[in-house]
Amino acid sequence: QLQASGGGLVQAGGSLRLSCAASGSAFSIDAMGWYRQAPGRQRELVASITTDGIIEYANSVKGRFTISRDNAKNEVYLHMYSLKPEDTAIYYCYAAEIATMIQDDINYWGKGTLVTVSS
């Protein structure tokens, strides 16, 4: 089970920090990360990180978002800076048993947390 938190309403240029914790004794996780889905749009990858620390970002968030994780706690974080109205979306954390960013290969999804950026 994945539990995400940290969403909310922020003005453009502001910052937010999302957190996601994995719980359950059956977890064997490699990659963790975040997708987002804006109204009327498809879900898209935001950032991912493997247990080895390999990181990928969507081009739209490079230089503004930072992903990190605590492997011992099975937690992943997304620090979002210089937020823009186009970052408004529901953010979903994920966990996968292999090093993947592909939605079809992801094993676990959080319920999503809403981020709203006002102009």
Q: Give the pLDDT confidence of 71-87 residue by residue, as tens digits.
A: 989 899 999 999 999 99
- Encoded tokens for 57: 């970002």
> Binning pLDDT at 50, 70 and 90, where does residue 26 land?
low
Mean pLDDT, the chain, rounded, equals 94
**Contact assessment for residue 33 and residue 75, using Cβ atoms and an 8 Å cutoff:** no
**Contact assessment for residue 103 and residue 33, using Cβ atoms and an 8 Å cutoff:** no
